[in-house]
Amino acid sequence: AQSVAQPEDQVNVAEGNPLTVKCTYSVSGNPYLFWYVQYPNRGLQFLLKYITGDNLVKGSYGFEAEFNKSQTSFHLKKPSALVSDSALYFCAVSQAGTALIFGKGTTLSVSS
């Protein structure tokens, strides 16, 4: 069975500092990996994905993530955080023919 773990319920960073939101996954074959962001009272918005190819993927709003197969991780990163990045972030995994399975989410709080 597929599963996703986001070990931190909340991440706090100061504006201008780099940020990392952690994600590890468990699947039996090749994973499709995703990051989504949710702002208050809104649906989920797609940030980036890894399907195959380059382990470093770049996405919306300056975010990037690195796929590490040996560590089964897909951490979300941004070199310089903005206050407007404050939101709930979800990591998700799927395989061909299956639906997305989500982690429990990490609240990112960026202080000015």
Q: Which stretch binds another protein (CB under 8 A): 15-23, 69-77, 79-87, 103-111?
A: 103-111
Amino acid at residue number 36: Y
Question: Closest distance between another protein and the C-beta of residue 62, in Å?
Answer: 18
104 binds another protein (CB under 8 A): yes
Q: How many CB atoms lie within 10 A of CB 24?
A: 18
Question: Closest distance between another protein and the C-beta of residue 75, in Å?
Answer: 17
Please, which residue, 19 or 48, has the CB nearer to another protein?
A: 48
Answer yes or no: are the C-beta atoms of 57 and 50 closer than 8 Å.
yes
